[in-house]
Amino acid sequence: MSAKAFDAIVIGAGQAGTPLAGRLNAAGMSVALIERKLVGGTCVNTGCIPTKTMVASAYAAHLARRAADYGVTVSGPVGVDYKAIKARKDKVSGASRTGLETWIAGMEKCSLYRGHARFESAETVRVGDELLTAPKIFLNTGGRASVPDLPGVHDIPYLTNSSMMDLDVLPGHLVVVGGSYISLEFAQMFRRFGSEVTVIEKAPRLTGREDEDTSAAIRSILENEGIAVHVGADEIAFAREGNGIAVTFSAGKVPAVGSHVLLALGRVPNTDDLGLDKAGVAVDQRGFIVVDDQLRTNVPGIWAMGDCNGKGAFTHTSYNDYEIVAANLLDNDPRKVSDRIEAYALYIDPPLGRCGMTEAAVKKSGRRALVGQRPMTRVGRAVEKGETQGFMKILADADTGEILGCSVLGPGGDEAIHCVLDLMYAKAPISTLARAMHIHPNVSELLPTIAQELKPLT
């Protein structure tokens, strides 16, 4: 069978692959875009869009239950219609996916192939019975939930972040195994929907990549809503118990018996079934595709973007990967992965916005630093909203004034963080933030105040 020739092949219609196909097509190239499941990838179908839609429903329920705190009367208990919540989520997610599909269909030289792509050589890819070839191939194959081989795990009907999106009944008791970002968002969300929730984490604390004070504050937020949290839970095992599922662990004298179990124990890249060996593409010991600072693999003419390259695990890092590849290929703009500043959010309520270095990382670096911190109880906007959990923290270099990092755990933290992030990209010193005039009343108006109150980090 002769191969059908294209100028470029893009494997994976996720948050890097789809816009790149659009840019290449606009530049006059013929493009084969291959997707084995759903256009839009994780973000559109099982990640950001559907989960944050559900987070919004959970917040509405939570706020309704607190109506009396604001002098608002609600007659009768607040109910939750989980089927309606799921339907809303499906509608929002589906509209996003349909929009992408419509956009792709309108591209003059882009052919969408639905199926599982496998390399047959460095320039040839098979999709079902179709053989495609191109001098440029871009991988955007994403990742999936990791399912460690824990005792009894394959004897129970466990859920992952993806299968949670298909759940059409509200769990009576959701046991969440894992204490990081995805797991905690689901934990709080389902607690607010009315489920009993237990979180079991192997590490000594939740969100281990955060500073200890941030982890402690996050745990307090969750426990204040009635979520049971167990940390230091080693020797985790599973077994059926009647109509439920028992989760045993070293830190618990009594097993947690839930109606449903969510495994949120990290992600693995979708690289094990692409035939990368036939193309000669190198992967690291965890299966991530090895790339350079401009996302080129070791094989000329092959690039890797998004979760499959291990350079980031977020929609925004995937999209930025697309921007880097497009800038280098089409704009004569030598953008690099190393130019970007680490930034992300944890979408519990209140959310955590983070950018740059943590306090622990700054201390480890050995540089002289300054730190400023203020609890949300001293932030007027938070008090007015009746949402005073959390705090803000800014770190700066004591010698140069360089802003090193920031954490905003509180109302609007996921938005307020960009005040600092943009200054870091502009390479503006902390004095620029200190002299800025922000709008009152707002959470971010306290960032300049904190910048004026920095003290030596000890």
Segment 355-368 shows an average pLDDT of 97
Whole-prediction pTM: 0.95
Q: Are strands 196-200 and 143-145 parallel, antiparallel or unpaired?
A: unpaired
Which whole-number Å values give the CA distances from 134 to 83, 301, 323, 355, 407, in the listed order?
A: 45, 9, 21, 38, 45
Residue 117 resides in a domain? yes
Q: Where are the alpha helices (DSSP H) in 142-286?
A: 181-193, 212-223, 276-279
Report pLDDT for 256: 94
Both 189 and 104 in a single domain? no
Asked whether residue 1 carries a pLDDT value surpassing 70, the answer given is: no
Q: Based on the fold, state whether residues 260 and 320 are members of the same structural domain.
A: no
CA 442-445-447 angle, 5° bins? 135
Q: Indicate if 440 belongs to the active site.
A: yes
Is 458 part of a structural domain of the chain?
A: no
Burial class (CB in 10 A: 0-12, 13-18, 19+), 111: middle
Same domain, yes or no: 246 and 275: no
Summarize the confidence of residues 239-251 as an average pLDDT. 94
Can you name the residues that pair with 268 across neighbouring β-strands? 144
For residue 371, the model assigns a pLDDT of 98
Mean pLDDT of 230-259: 93
- Would you say residue 60 lies in a domain? yes
Q: Answer for the pair 31, 7: CB distance below 8 angstroms, yes or no.
A: yes
Domain that holds residue 348: 344-453
CA distance 234 to 245: 18
The per-type count for the chain, helices as H runs and strands as E runs, is 13, 24
Looking up residue 413, the CATH number of its domain turns out to be 3.30.390.30
- Please tell me whether residues 138 and 16 are part of one structural domain: yes
Whether 192 has a pLDDT exceeding 90, the answer reads yes
Nearest to 252 by CA among 235, 274, 265, 267: 235
Structure-token match 């979180």, residue found: 199
Give yes or no: residues 140 and 158 share one domain.
Answer: no
Q: Mean pLDDT throughout 94-119?
A: 96
State mean pLDDT over 110-120.
96
Residues 48 and 63 reside in one and the same domain: yes
Q: Is the dihedral of CA 390, 391, 397, 398 positive or negative?
A: negative
Q: What is the pLDDT of residue 251?
A: 81
Percent of the chain surpassing pLDDT 70: 100
Question: What does the block give as tokens for 66?
Answer: 């607190």
109: CATH: 3.50.50.60
Number of domains in the chain: 3
Q: Are residues 239 and 311 in the same domain?
A: no
Place of tokens 């390479």: 427
Of 219, 242, 265, the position where a domain reaches its end is 265
The single residue of 173, 230, 260, 440 carrying the catalytic annotation is: 440
The mean of the pLDDT values for the chain is 96
Q: So what's the pLDDT on residue 87? A: 97
Strands annotated E in 310-442: 343-346, 352-356, 369-375, 391-397, 403-409
Q: Is residue 121 part of a domain?
A: yes
* Residues 238 and 199 occupy one common structural domain: yes
Instruction: Detail the DSSP E strand segments found in 53-172.
Output: 110-114, 117-121, 124-127, 130-133, 136-139, 143-145
Q: Are residues 189 and 258 in the same domain?
A: yes
Claim to verify: residue 171 and residue 226 sit in the same structural domain: yes
> Could you tell me if residue 385 is inside a domain?
yes
pLDDT at position 253, please? 82
- 297 and 236 housed in the same domain: no
d(CA 67, CA 96): 32
Residues 310 and 274 in one domain: yes
Domain end residue (candidates: 265, 287, 304): 265
- Among 219, 249, 265, the domain-final residue is 265
Could you tell me the pLDDT band of residue 2, with boundaries at 50, 70 and 90? confident
The mean per-residue pLDDT over the stretch 128-156 comes to: 96
Q: How large is the average pLDDT for residues 88-100?
A: 97
- Mean of pLDDT values over 132-158: 96
